[in-house]
Chains A and B, each alone.
Chain A
Amino acid sequence: MNAELMLKLQAWVDGELPASEAAHIAEWVRKDAAAAALAAELKMTRGFLTGNEPEVKLPESREFHWSKIQKAIERAEAEPSPREALPWATALRRFLVPVSGLALVAFLTVLSIGIFNRDTSTGTTDELLVEEETLSRHVETSTYNSQANNMYVVYIINKDVGDDDPMDLDSDMDEDMDDSVIQ
């Protein structure tokens, strides 16, 4: 008995064959002992499965069960999504991302400029950027910048020698030093 005949026999047991073919199989089962034995075994298995199939029953009526699911769907649709509930957070995030990114770039730029300018001890642009202002009409100034010695010198030249010297720094020495500037 080949597999195709066995399948046809099973279909016959389950009542799935058309009448003409079913009659043909019935005749074959009646004449062939092996086919009859297989048919009997299939019938027994079918009866066993049908009789012992577990039946799950809902603890509530069908209408009530589906109405609960429908209500749950309606409730979920009515609730606002977290994104809609916090629009300010989204707006703040959208604002902070580019702003903080720009701030970071600006900071790194300033930092790198500072580092590159600071590491060279002499002759940097910052060191040469000097602002001067003469605040007394009695003096003139001249400057000397020595990058080799890392020194910036401002010469104060008194225009009114003999007059009221603004750099007469210690008049206590006048007696000893005849109006000395420094002592």
Chain B
Amino acid sequence: MILTRFFSRQCRLLFLALVFSLAAVGAHAEEIKLEAKLIWASNEPKSPKPEHKPVDKATEEKLRKPFPQWKYFFVETNVVQIIPSRGSNKFTLSKSCTLEITELEGPRVEVTLIGKGKPVHKTTKEISKGGWFVYTGDDKHESAWIVIVTQLEK
């Protein structure tokens, strides 16, 4: 009788642990807030587009390390979107440049770079707050485009 009661209690405790485990796993899957910036890099101190604003000092400092060939960085677009858990969202950065980002288990993200409506490249990796995921390429007239994806606090 005592043995049965002991196992019954053990069973209840383990069952509760199972329920809490499942709840914790379910709670772990959550939406993420991401920011995507389209930046134009050049050696010209002024951009031909008057709406271009120079990037902030911290961003400029961080950009100088992987892009020492460029002196000036200007913000073209800045888009902040929420990616629902196990869902996708599109970041339209210009008429021809779009990012489609999907939140995956991990948490990892699948980032698809779309140029002129056609998929160009897809990357799946972990994303963390403070980390940068960057797409870049050379542009015409001695310049470059840079797309930075970062995770924001919700």
State yes or no: do A and B come from one complex: yes
Q: For the complex, is A34 an interface residue (Cβ under 8 Å from B)?
A: no
- Across the interface, name the chain A residue whose C-beta is closest to B108: A126
For B50-94 the 0/1 string (1 means CB < 8 A from A) is 000000000000100110000000001000000000000000011
A154→B123 contact, CB < 8 A: yes
- Knowing A121-B128, A151-B134, A169-B145, the reply to whether A100 touches B15 (Cβ < 8 A) is yes
| Interface residues in A, total, Cβ within 8 A | 55
B124→A131 contact, CB < 8 A: yes
B122→A132 contact, CB < 8 A: yes
B126→A127 contact, CB < 8 A: yes
Q: For the complex, is A178 an interface residue (Cβ under 8 Å from B)?
A: yes
In the complex, what's the smallest C-beta–C-beta distance from A131 to chain B, in angstroms? 4
Cβ 8 A contact of A182, one of B18, B132, B143: B143
A107→B132 contact, CB < 8 A: no
Q: For the complex, is B45 an interface residue (Cβ under 8 Å from A)?
A: no
A129→B121 contact, CB < 8 A: no
- 12 CB < 8 A contacts A-B: A97-B10, A104-B14, A126-B126, A127-B128, A149-B65, A151-B131, A156-B121, A158-B138, A165-B115, A166-B116, A166-B118, A183-B94
